[in-house]
Structure formats: structure tokens, C-alpha cells
Structure 1
């Protein structure tokens, strides 16, 4: 099998395992421990917060036409349906894997997810050869989850703690497919919301080197948004696909 084909196969494994294509999250100048804004006031508000339902979260997800240059899809064909489909060999790494897969990183049953992909055909600068290359498209997996009381803050801490605890990597299984995350490191994210954490993950590409992916987790009140972007055409560059700032900003702006 050709190297590029093996790499894409490995990426697909990690993708379905962790969100459709692999792995990725941090805020501002954060070192991975989380970037808080007005912690005391926001904490008092979240203590009394009530979780939104899955149906309410669905309405808060980005919809078609809300972000110029991007197409929105349900993600039903690509994202895991539940946490039972995504397993790691280290419990402390679970929140990282779940966040990357568009699942709730914390303890809640209220969640919703979709995908937001570049719509190159809608941009004036799109070139025919680019449009024909199905792999050269950045797709972002977006997940929303809502929590009672301070559950959202606890979930953010679990993600932040996981970045440190899983620095040496972990094993990941999704739909019986196994892959290996070889390294986890804090990254710089958008710094949006009340608190944000971002991290990169290096994934073993079936013995054909590694690929790096980034995930960002943002809390606004008692709702958490997760973002993970993959571009198969960029797998061989050694750099993580950038999570579109426009997508993060638009989604966080819709949260209550």
C-alpha cells in the first residue's frame, strides 16, 4: 500500500475513533491549565445553572448560512453516537478523546454535535484543481454539552488535567479500530468564552510516521463547545490543521 494511502487509512481510524478523522484544543496564552475569565462571578452563576436538553443544544449548533464560506452538516455519518464507542487505555485521557470526537468531555447526557466544512465552491478564489481535490478541505467537528451546577467547570478541569496526565500518549479504540496517540501537548487556542483549553495530539499513522491534530474546548456558562479540525491533504506536512477562528467565534456567540 502506498504511503499516502496508508496515512489516510490511519487517519480515518483515528478520525472515527476521535471525531471522524483524528485528534485536537487551549485558550489565549494558556499553558493547558485553562484560561479563566472572571472566575469568581462566573462560578457563582454556574452553581445554580440548569443543564440544557439535547434538543435545546441542537438549536444552538451552527446552522447553514451562519458562517460564510462553510457548509454545515449533521455529522450523523461520521461522529460517534456515544462514549461507549470511544475508549482509551487511561481513564484520565477519556475527556481528551471524547472532546475530539464531538462528545461531552464531562459527566452529562445532554449533548449535540455536527460538522462544519470549508465550502470552496462558494469562494471566489477557489481553483478547479482545489475543488476536485476532495481531501484538501478542512472539516471541523463541533460538539456541545450542557451541565448542572458546576459540572461544566469540572469538565474543563478534567480536560486540562488530562493534557498533563496524558503527555506521554495513550491507546485509543473506536468501533474496534485501534490507534496510538504518542504525545499530547498544550496548545494556543482562541481564548473565547469564559474558559478555554486547547491541546495537540500526535497520532501514529500505522507505522508511517505521525500526524498532529488540535482540539479546543471552550466553556460559556454551563455549556461547553468542543472543536476538532482535520484536513487529509495536510497530513504529510507535520503541522496540525488550524481550527477556523470564524467557526469558533460564531459557535461560542450562539451559546447562552
Structure 2
């Protein structure tokens, strides 16, 4: 890949809105039971959603994940009404990849969790002074870090099970790809493929959505959604350096494990 095409791919990933919450730094298919949509055992009181204050105490915070920085999502999160798939059945996938909880969450919050490692360009005199080949390598290395938006949401009654089921059903229904609007930016995904989930929580589903750049380039986004009782924890991960190098990556297990530990 030439220097100009490397810069172009990074820019295309951004304007293509793979996930509005993730590109600010530019810088048995394996799932557990996704939930049966029922509200709990007979005779048991309906689940009550956590308050916003309770949820914020449970979302990942600074120091919770070794080797990662935890920060507020830059730029905020768009309104759910501004994120809409052309096929409504694919809406839960598009919302999760935009940092929005699926279904009808009573409360929700989110954080950006980014792999914390030294930027290889820190030792370079100037990126502009590098030759094309070295510039491309430095650009890939500097962006080769997993960046995950973690959304934590809580639901009343059987809302979490229903939301989980909507994601699981959408993974299957939208396998051939889908299009939609993310707060004014068009998103086009060529395919959606179920992946092996971590197996944490009461139910989980994982998938990769491959973005179609319409110029021969594609870029995968990896997502995992885990249910813990009446709470959901979706994780959406991008690694632009890995995309540019056509290197495999996934939702970091350390992030999923750390968030699961706070929800026990």
C-alpha cells in the first residue's frame, strides 16, 4: 500500500462511520444462549433497572484494565433516532456499533478503552521526513492498537433478554450485509459473520461486520454483546493499524473479563 493510500484508508474508515464513537482517535456459531425473551421464573418479581448512578459505578474506569486507558467517549453519543438501518431488523447491529445500547434500555453509559502503548513515531524527527515506505510502516504501527467502546445498559423486566435476542437475530438476518445512516453518515456493510464469544455472563453473542468502502477496500469491526442478568455490556472494537496491515484482531479478552468482574 502506498503512502497516499494508507492515509486515504484511515480517512475513509473515519468518514465511512464504521463506528462514530471509535474513530475519534484516527487516532454452534460460538454464542451462548442469547436469552429466551422471558422475564424470569414464575412468581419472581420483575427485574428493576439500575439507576444511572449505579451504572456509572459499574462501568470500567481508570486502572481497571492493565495495559489500557479508559476514558469518556469523545464527542458524545448520537441520539438513537439518528442511527437507523435501512432494514429495521439490522438496526440493533448499527446501534451497537455506534455506541448505543440495543432495545429499550432504562439507563446506559459508555467508555472508550484503548490499548496503551508507546507511539512508534515518538522517536521520529517528523512523520513528514519519513520516506513513503517508512511513513506507511510508522502509520500502521502508530494506529495498531485496539480501541473499544464499552456500553453498559440496564433494563426493566425482560428488556435485556429481548435486546439480546434482537442482536442475535440480526446477526443471522443481516449476514448478507446491510446499509444505514449514522447521524448523517452513510454506513455500508458487505457482510456480518458470527464469531466465537468469550462465554462470560448469562448469554453472549459475537460477530464481525465488514465495512464496504466501495473502492475495493474493506474493513472489519468486531463486536461482542454480553448479558449479565438484566444488564447488557456490548463491546465494539476497531484497530485501524491492523486494518491497514490486513492483520487479524478481535475484541480484547482482557476488557471483557474486567467488565464482567465488575458486574458479578
Tell me the number of residue pairs that the alignment of Structure 1 and Structure 2 aligns: 245
Which residue of the partner structure matches residue 61 of structure 1?
59
Q: Describe the shift of the 1:240–1:181 C-alpha distance in structure 2 as closer, same or farther (beyond 3 A).
A: farther
What are the superposed Cα offsets for residues 161-198 of structure 1, whole Å, 9 maximum, x if unpaired?
A: 00111111111222311121010111112111000001
Question: Which residue number corresponds to residue 26 of structure 1?
Answer: none
Over alpha carbons, which structure has the higher Rg?
A: 2
Partner of 2:96: 99
Change (3 A) 1:145 1:131: farther
Q: 1:6 corresponds to which residue?
A: 8
1:181-238 CA deviation, whole Å, 9 max, x = no partner?
0101111121110000011111012414211121000000000001011111111344
Q: Describe the superposition over 1:224-253 as per-residue Cα deviations: whole angstroms up to 9, x where unpaired.
A: 001011111111344553111111011011
Cα deviation, 1:49-95, whole Å, max 9, x if unaligned, reads: 10112232122111101111111101132x52321232211111111
How far, CA to CA, are the matches of 1:41 and 1:228 in structure 2?
A: 26
TM norm structure 2: 0.81
2:22/2:148 contact within 8 Å kept? no
TM-score computed with the length of structure 1 as normaliser: 0.84
In structure 2, list runs of 5 or more residues that go unmatched: 125-136
Q: Unpaired runs of 5+ in structure 1?
A: 23-29
Q: 1:245 & 1:131 partners in 2: Cα distance? A: 26
The C-alpha deviation readout for 1:5-46, integer Å capped at 9, x for no partner, is 222122113446454249xxxxxxx426x4139989994398
- If asked which structure has higher relative contact order (CA below 8 Å, sep 6+), I would say 1
Residue 208 of structure 2 corresponds to which residue in structure 1?
200
* Matched ranges for 1:153-168 at <5 A: 153-168=161-176
SS across alignment from 1:173: strand
**Residues 169 and 66 (structure 1 numbering): CA distance in 2 closer, same or farther, change over 3 Å?**
same
